[in-house]
Amino acid sequence: MPLVRISHRSGLTDAQRKALSDGVQEALESTVNVPPNDRFHILTEHASGLIFDPHYLGIERTPDWVAVQITLRKGRTVEMKQALYRRIAENLAKNPGLRPEDVLICLVENDLADWSFGNGEAQYVR
């Protein structure tokens, strides 16, 4: 049930954008028990508007920096979240070739009643 938002610089190819989505999805499935068919991703391209500190916390970032925001049901352990962060960074380093330093990840947690997948209904609270 995660909703994934990936913000990235403009100019990426369709294959690179697919690799971003695929890398995040694989990490969700392998680390925090998200089912394979549960994929809702919004990729947003920015010619400008990605404003970030290139040195925050001693991590050197480049203009290839991406932000991955994942809204998901609360209940994952700290260890699961850390495994998710590592796996996303590893996957995106392999394809499309992002430096791990250029991957920011933020989780936003909520409850079952906070989701409607269509028809104006909260399917998880019937």
- Tell me the domain boundaries of the chain: 3-125
| pLDDT tens, per residue, the chain with 126 residues | 899 999 999 999 999 999 999 999 999 999 999 999 899 999 999 998 899 999 999 999 999 999 999 999 999 999 999 999 999 999 999 999 999 999 999 999 999 899 898 999 999 887
Give the pLDDT confidence score for residue 126 in this predicted structure. Answer: 73
Q: What is the pTM of this model?
A: 0.93
Give the pLDDT confidence score for residue 22 in this predicted structure. Answer: 98
Q: Is 2 a catalytic residue?
A: yes
Active-site choice (2, 35, 54, 63): 2
CA distance 67 to 70: 10
Topology, domain 3-125? Macrophage Migration Inhibitory Factor (3.30.429)
Give the pLDDT confidence score for residue 27 in this predicted structure. Answer: 98
CA distance 37 to 55: 37
Give the pLDDT confidence score for residue 15 in this predicted structure. Answer: 98
CA distance 90 to 93: 5
Alpha helices per DSSP H over 1-77:
14-31
